[in-house]
Amino acid sequence: MDKPFKTAVDLQKLMFLGGLRNDIPKTPLNTEQLRLKAKDRLSPRAFDYLDGGAGMEKTMLSNTSAFGCWQIVPQMLKDVSLRDTSVELFGSKWVSPFFLCPIGVLELAHRQSDLAVARASAVTDTPLMISSQSSTPMEDIAAAMPETPKFFQLYWSKSDDLVASFVSRAESCGCSAIVVTLDTTILGWRLRDLQHAYLPFLYGMGLAQYIADPVFQRLMVAEPPPEAAKSKVNLHLLNSLWQMARRYPGSTWHNFRSRSPLIAIRKFIDIYMNPALQWSDLSKLRAMTNLPVILKGIQHPDDARKAIDYGLDGIVVSNHGGRQIDGAIGSLDALVLVKQAIGNQIPILFDSGVRTGSDAFKAIALGADAVGIGRPYAYGLAVGGTEGVQSVIEYFRAEFELTMALSGCHSIDDNKKVVLKNCR
Ligand SMILES: Cc1cc2nc3c(=O)[nH]c(=O)nc-3n(C[C@H](O)[C@H](O)[C@H](O)COP(=O)(O)O)c2cc1C
């Protein structure tokens, strides 16, 4: 696979020279403009599912505004002609500290969903966390990015057999770690989705990992979901059933007439979340795999300490982009507390609110070893498929590299030593 790693200066030159031919970037560089362009392209309910958060979205605001509370104090005359943005994590070398966060139901943004993202991941050599709720089975996603590091993000369902099956499939398709998401054992109170009365899973979206899974297929038959109460049939309901049938493998007409898609969706709803999950369950995962296990959704320093006590291999400081709790601490503020609590004992990955390359620089200065791009790449996907995602990654990377250089840093190690000014 051709991996044209563009340095920031190469990319700048390419873009400015393009202007001579009136070749203007199709993907907006400003994340807010990109977001608005994605909004234009998508139906209101699809956009709101991708863009929205819990409650009045105050956590989302805290996530992004936390970056404004820390400022870079650059240092001069440090010969930054050579710059190395690479990091080594979980057994592989990454060209930059960025990874793509797990984002479910990407078919809402683009028909090619996860495959388009995987191709952008491969072309830029940027690690991807494959979501449990992706729109494409993990095997197909992995095949589209054979040489690029990938992780499997696990939602721990009520069936440990299903968890074991997901984990074993992740091992077989070359994932280098299992990332267990802890913050979504129940769905948050998401006003926009509730106002649209819209949950994409009910239309069969984002269920690819489950429908492709032999254990899930067996559970559908062996332990069928409870019967739903009969509801009034109207045209809208028939259309919804047709949408489900279209997404289920096999002939749409056969699926429409049979009950398989409905049973699959009801079974999924029945088991996909497990609010009973607790720390002691993690030992079961250890017994299932030799892969590193990373906990995603850590915000409290005590939980970070516990991750170490329980022998975990890494954490992702994340609040799910503010989609779960309204009025929570900004994730960058949580990062500072977590770093104070656990220092360098295990890798600390970070996401939630990263909107620019310079945000990533700040996150690394405050203790992150790697930084996740979330919604911005979903907007890029909506705007331009693979090309849109690739552009977002390249823009983030370029701005990050230039921020590093212009602040007097040659490497990620230098970035980690930078002291930011807290302007609160
Ligand atoms: C539409 C959407 C779907 C998501 N799906 C998942 C998921 O399936 N698994 C998961 O662990 N996190 C999921 N997340 C959370 C992201 O992995 C990440 O934590 C979050 O997007 C970071 O916040 P930001 O996008 O505001 O930067 C999702 C986020 C969004 C916006």
Residue 1: pLDDT band by 50, 70, 90 thresholds? very low
Confidence of residue 235 (pLDDT cuts 50, 70, 90): confident
| Percentage of the residues of the chain whose pLDDT score is greater than 90 | 90
pLDDT of residue 30: 98
Task: Compute CA 96 distance to the chain's CA centroid, rounded to the nearest angstrom.
Answer: 17
Of residues 347, 381, 305, 367, the one with CA closest to residue 51: 381
What average pLDDT does the structure give for the chain? 96
**Catalytic residue IDs:** 320
Q: How far is the CA of 146 from the centre of ligand 1 (A)?
A: 23
Ligand 1 first shell, C-beta below 6 A: 49-50, 63, 101-104, 131-133, 153, 181, 296, 318, 320-321, 323, 351-354, 374-375
Output the CA 256–ligand 1 centroid distance in Å.
31
> Binning pLDDT at 50, 70 and 90, where does residue 4 land?
low
pLDDT the model gives residue 240? 85
Pocket probe mutation, ligand 1, options 323, 325, 379, max atoms within 8 Å of Cβ:
323
What pLDDT does residue 243 have? 85
pLDDT band at 3 (very low <50, low <70, confident <90, very high): low
The C-alpha atoms of residue 307 and residue 295 are separated, in whole angstroms, by: 8
C-alpha dihedral (90, 371, 206, 149), degrees to nearest 10: -30
Q: Is the pTM of this model over 0.85?
A: yes
Q: What is the pLDDT of residue 241?
A: 87
Dihedral, 171, 115, 331, 29 alpha carbons, nearest 10: 150
Query: What is the atom index within ligand 1 of the atom nearest the CA of 321?
Result: 23
- The pLDDT, as a whole number, for residue 312 is 98
What is the 251 CA–ligand 1 centroid distance (Å)?
Answer: 32
Coil, strand, or helix at residue 297? strand
The Cα-based distances of 285 to 165, 166, 276, 344, 354 in angstroms read 11, 11, 15, 24, 30
Q: How far is the CA of 412 from the centre of ligand 1 (A)?
A: 25
User: Which residue type sits at 177?
Assistant: A
Tell me the pLDDT tens digit for each residue of 17-42.
999 999 999 999 999 999 999 999 99
> What domains can be seen in the chain, in order of their start residue?
24-192+274-422 (3.20.20.70), 197-269 (no CATH)
Predicted confidence (pLDDT) per residue in 74-104, tens digit? 999 999 999 999 999 999 999 999 999 999 9
Task: State the DSSP code for 411.
Answer: B
How do residues 41-53 score in pLDDT, each as one tens digit? Answer: 999 999 999 999 9
Best mutation site among 63, 103, 153, 166 for ligand 1 pocket (most ligand atoms within 8 Å of CB): 103
Of residues 253 and 96, more confidently modeled: 96
Q: Looking at beta carbons, which pairs linking 299-307 to residues 24 or more positions away fall under 8 Å? A: 299/328, 299/329, 299/331, 299/334, 299/338, 300/334, 300/337, 301/337, 301/338, 301/340, 301/341, 301/342, 302/341, 304/338, 304/341, 304/342, 304/348, 305/341, 305/342, 306/279, 307/342, 307/346
Task: From the CA of 106, give the closest atom in ligand 1.
Answer: 1
Which residue, judged by its Cα, is nearest atom 12 of ligand 1? Answer: 102
Pairwise pLDDT comparison (393 vs 246), residue with the higher score: 393
Strands (E), 116-247: 128-130, 150-154, 178-181
Kindly report, residue by residue over 313-360, the tens digit of the pLDDT.
999 999 999 999 999 999 999 999 999 999 999 999 999 999 999 999
pLDDT at 2: 45
